[in-house]
Structure 1
Amino acid sequence: MNTRFRNSVRYWRTPLLPGADMVTAEYLDHEFAPHWHDAYTIPVIEAGAEMYDYRGSLHVAETGTVPVINPGELHTGSRATEDGWRYRVGYVPVDFVQRLADDIAGRPQPLPWFPAETIRDPDLARRVLRAHRLLEAGGDPRGGHPPGGDPRGGDPLAAEAALIDAISTLIVRHASTDPQPARLAADNPRIETMKARLTADLAEPLTLTELAQAVDLSAFHAARLFTRATGLAPHAWRNQVRLQRALGPLRAGVSVAEVAAASGFTDQSHFTRHFRRMFGVPPGRWQSP
């Protein structure tokens, strides 16, 4: 009999992987808006199936698969069946993956890059799942464990070994190198100028007309050019940057209201709504794993 999942998510962190965010979740009907992460998104589907739009194609990740998303790449997420899905995700910092790739090769390597297709490698899925569970169980060298983790604590030596085993296996079996950027189109300088204008002061009110004037285009043509290049309208792209930059202050304990104001959102509820659509949980719950 199929299990019908519910919307339940917990964010947590581990000192064994500094700078990473970890997720243990199940979703029935949550839909992630198009977004990106600055880290590698490395999930394992424990049950059910997730559907996601990535690199221009719709993919389905079923139980026992590892649908990796490369850093900075736009994607979505929703249920692939009416029952939803359950998964574990690690948002693994780029520098950790890069250092591990260098260590494996014994010399500096290009940035590892993973295929757009869902990775169907049962052995890898078992390794990723084991690492995630051991880290969640409390592999904390200070002797603690995350709320909701195994109250018996855990073995940090085993947890870290499992982590390195899982990510190194992923790299060795499935990584290529970061593809070289295509030859810059004539309008690329305009796109970069608009990005710089959008991010110069995230709290500054900015109209589309003002943005277009910075690149000597009409509002219509500026919006069309930017959306075609990035996959998001200028205001949506700017909100993604705001959300990414909000993570650091939230981790540092700054209040949600202060972060919302500093990030340029009109109010806390506006910030919370966008944050939940991207991360699947309100910022207050994300802040206190």
Structure 2
Amino acid sequence: MDKPATFRDDAHFWRSPLLPDAELLTAEYFAQEFAPHWHEGFSIPVIQSGAQTYRYRGSRCLASVGCIAAINPGEVHTGERATEHGWAYRAFYPSVDWMQQLASDMAGSAVGIPWLPDGVIEDAEVSAQLAFAHRLLEAGSDPLAAENALTAGFALMLSRYARSRPAIQSILPDAVRVEMMKSRLSADLSAAISLTELAQEVGLSSFYAARLFSRTTGMPPHAWRNQLRLNRAQSLLRQNLSVTEIATMTGFADQSHFTRHFKKAFGVAPGRWRV
């Protein structure tokens, strides 16, 4: 069959400092047929449209929209379209060290490599969280939100599907560390900060720091920081500064980013709030 003009192969590999020693892939495929191959790290593709079929550990697997076609390190697999329209996915290729460290952070002590099932993971919640994290990483505009989503999405997958599921350590009250994190988040609202940097400030892992902060404040760190930005923006709106100026002063990416968050929090656009 000739390839219709609307169907194509288009793949974009890229990297993010928030997922070290790893590649990420945003792709759509029609004619692509992957030869048997393997990866040194994990392969975690999240199917966004169409369907992919692949051979893995002696079986023929089928991954459709919302599925995760997870492949463990060193395992030979193939890949090709399973529909006449091809398929699209967002894929992570995290290193063994990164995955093992996350599992250890979840457990609060060193654990082994968190091997995943020999087949398709069908879990709409996990796939949605991973796809959301992938989009935030690709956008590159908010490292705190992106790393929080990345950590939460992978932790959820491991807690449900790792063969030896890490027992997640309990969160102990720690008001001092939470106040230290708040101070760091408040110091310069326009400065980019990652979850790793925030956690290192208080001597915790990213996974534990995010859970501690959320449990104590009721919001993950990036959401708390955005609310602080909005609260400060209200004071600036009373001074009749322009919306564009206020967006810049409070650390939002641009006016539309500021307006979108302001309306979600207060129910009206900034210009209407101060009338």
- TM-score, length basis structure 2: 0.57
Alignment partner of 1:109 is 2:111: yes
Alignment partner of 1:90 is 2:92: yes
Deviations 1:236-274 (A, max 9, x none): xxxxxxxxxxxxxxxxxxxxxxxxxxxxxxxxxxxxxxx
Q: Indicate the residue corresponding to 1:129 in structure 2.
A: 131
Alignment partner of 1:176 is 2:163: yes
Measure how far apart 1:4 and its partner are.
Answer: 5.6
Measure how far apart 1:86 and its partner are.
Answer: 0.5
Q: Indicate the residue corresponding to 1:70 in structure 2.
A: 72
How many Å separate the matches in 2 of 1:85 and 1:55? 22
Corresponding letter in the other structure for 2:156 = T
Contact 1:49/1:62 (<8 A) preserved: yes
Contact 1:60/1:118 (<8 A) preserved: yes
Contact 1:4/1:84 (<8 A) preserved: no
Q: Indicate the residue corresponding to 2:266 in structure 1.
A: none
SS at match of 1:112: coil
**Which ranges in structure 1 are unaligned for 5 or more consecutive residues?**
139-153, 179-289
Corresponding letter in the other structure for 1:157 = L
SS at match of 1:163: helix
Higher relative contact order (CA 8 A, sep 6+): 1
Contact 1:5/1:85 (<8 A) preserved: no
State which of 145, 163, 166 in structure 1 corresponds to 2:153. 166
How many Å separate the matches in 2 of 1:4 and 1:90? 26
State which of 14, 17, 35 in structure 1 corresponds to 2:16. 14
How do 1:1-289 residues align onto structure 2 when only pairs under 5 Å count?
5-138=7-140, 154-177=141-164
Contact 1:4/1:83 (<8 A) preserved: no
Corresponding letter in the other structure for 1:91 = Y
**Which ranges in structure 2 are unaligned for 5 or more consecutive residues?**
166-275
How many Å separate the matches in 2 of 1:14 and 1:110? 25
Measure how far apart 1:176 and its partner are.
Answer: 0.8
Deviations 1:96-124 (A, max 9, x none): 11001011111111211111120000000
The number of residue pairs the alignment matches comes to: 161
SS at match of 2:112: coil
Corresponding letter in the other structure for 1:126 = A
Measure how far apart 1:5 and its partner are.
Answer: 3.5
Deviations 1:113-139 (A, max 9, x none): 11112000000010000000000001x
SS at match of 1:22: strand
How many Å separate the matches in 2 of 1:130 and 1:4? 26
How many Å separate the matches in 2 of 1:52 and 1:174? 20
How many Å separate the matches in 2 of 1:101 and 1:136? 24
Corresponding letter in the other structure for 1:33 = A
Contact 1:45/1:63 (<8 A) preserved: yes
- TM-score, length basis structure 1: 0.54
How many Å separate the matches in 2 of 1:28 and 1:161? 33
**Residues 93/67 of structure 1: CA separation in 2 closer, same or farther (3 Å cut):** same
